[in-house]
Amino acid sequence: MKNLTYLLLMKTIFITIVFKLLIIDSQTNENLVGARVETDNNTYFTDLYGYVEIPQGEEIKSISYISYETKHNIEVTKDTIIDISPL
């Protein structure tokens, strides 16, 4: 019974470090809501304020937004503001 109680009390804690990106328009500096960020593992979209959180260790393959340029292979080592230009 002791072993069963011990197993039920064990907890696993995962800590994930993320980078917070802000995607903005390069001309107006407005935050871009719904910009697509593709990594080697997943696809993310910016929130209502233009922010997206990317787990550390994932490489950003591209950032795109309708009627804007697509940026490729962006290296991020800290929280960053990334601007993209309209076409």
* Residue 5 within a domain: no
* Residue 8 within a domain: no
* Residue 10 within a domain: no
Tokens 């995607």 map to which residue? Answer: 23
CA dihedral (23, 25, 28, 29) in degrees, to 10, reads 20
What would the pLDDT profile of 10-69 be if each residue is shown by its tens digit?
A: 567 777 788 999 999 999 999 999 999 999 999 999 999 999 999 988 999 999 999 999
Closest alpha carbon to 47 in 77, 26, 22, 72: 22
* Residue 45 within a domain: yes
* Residue 69 within a domain: yes
Domain tally, the chain? 1
pLDDT value for 6: 52
* Residue 11 within a domain: no
Stated pTM of the model: 0.80
- What is the CATH classification number for the domain harbouring 73? 2.60.40.1120
| Neighbour order of strands in the sheet with 51-55 | 51-55, 18-25, 80-84
